[in-house]
Amino acid sequence: MLVDSHCHLDFPDFAAELDDVLLRARDAGVGLMLSIGTHASKAAGVLAIAERHPQVFATVGVHPHHVAEPAEEGVTVETLCALAAHPRVAGIGESGLDYFYDFAPRPAQEAAFRLHIAAARELGIPLVIHSRDADADMLRILRDEMAAGTFSALMHCFSSGRELAEGALELGLYLSASGVVTFKRNEDLRAIFRDAPLERLLVETDSPYLAPVPKRGKRNEPAYVAYTAAVLAEVKGISPEALARATTQNFLRLFSRIPASAVGGGGAA
């Protein structure tokens, strides 16, 4: 059984056929999905999906793209903690820094990121981190915040440089591989995953974005995490079964609010 540790099932891309998407995921051996929040103001939508489907859990947070939007600007640690009290919430995020798009001013991104870290630390649940073209600032903030009090976290869709990978691993963070590791020219990224400890690795789709080869360019969906897992297994020199077992164990260790019995939607019809 595989876990898709990062998807966006509440996005309009899936609205018309979510049941079919979830059936295809099941048929591909994806026993659990974590649907990631991007807006505090839209948390109810993600939570409703997680309430309806026993194999779906959720996170709550504000994506760095949206932190300066009027509906999200007022989010506090208390807002996040209150949303995370919902029984289907397994983590905080996604939060972090995106200097590629720079949709929100960088100081606002940093301030929001620190709030999310504070919430994750206070609740003792993991933070899902988004980081793009911000390696130096990301590492600076992670080191600074970890020194102020430990928290657990996952670098989602890891596609940054080796220094950030090694720095994050040193701080105890996990790295998640997305379809980006299947893209032909990303030899350096595959080498980073090859050298990282297996017990710190997860897999994800980031669907509807970033479909892995051979679906590249199409709308992504949780079933396709199997393609990314197959490439990661090859990179690690282990069987797809061993890779699935390890990444699922890692996921459950990190997202400890989720019981192992939830894999495969266990316990419910």
Residues near Zn ion (CB under 5 A): 36
Nearer to Zn ion, 25 or 36 (CB): 36
- Closer to Zn ion by Cβ: residue 7 or 139: 7
Smallest gap from Cβ 94 to Zn ion, in A, equals 5
CB of 24 closer than 8 Å to CB of 218:
no
Q: How far is the CB of 204 from Zn ion (least distance, A)?
A: 8
* Rounded least distance, CB 177 to Zn ion, Å: 14
**Is-contact 88 120, C-beta < 8 A?**
no
Q: How far is the CB of 93 from Zn ion (least distance, A)?
A: 9
Give Cα 196 to chain centroid, integer Å: 18
Residue in 177, 184, 190, 242 with CA at minimum distance from that of residue 216: 184
Nearer to Zn ion (CB atom), residue 143 or residue 215: 215
For 147, counting Cβ atoms within 10 Å of its Cβ (0-12 exposed, 13-18 middle, 19+ buried), the class is exposed
Beta carbon nearer to Zn ion, 61 or 167: 61
Question: CB neighbours (10 Å) of residue 266?
Answer: 13
Instruction: Please report how close the Cβ of residue 65 comes to Zn ion at its closest, in angstroms.
Output: 10
Indicate the burial class of 239 (C-beta count within 10 angstroms; 0-12, 13-18, 19 or more).
exposed
Question: For residue 35, what are its two tokens?
Answer: 């649907």
| H or E, element range at 228 | helix 225-236
Neighbours of 140 (CB within 10 A): 13
Residue 94: C-alpha distances to residues 7, 19, 261 (Å): 11, 24, 25
Least CB distance from residue 139 to Zn ion, whole Å? 20
Q: Supply the minimum distance, in Å, between the C-beta of residue 212 and Zn ion.
A: 15
Q: Which residue, 145 or 206, has its beta carbon nearer to Zn ion? A: 206
Angle between helices 187-195 and 225-236 (to 10 degrees): 70
In this complex, which beta carbon is closest to Zn ion, that of residue 126 or of residue 233?
126
Least distance to Zn ion, CB of residue 148, Å: 26
d(CA 98, CA 136): 12
In terms of CB distance, is 56 or 233 closer to Zn ion?
56
Residue 36 or 49 with smaller CB distance to Zn ion:
36
Q: Which two tokens stand for residue 217?
A: 């360019």
- Measured between its terminal Cα atoms, the distance across the chain in Å is 18
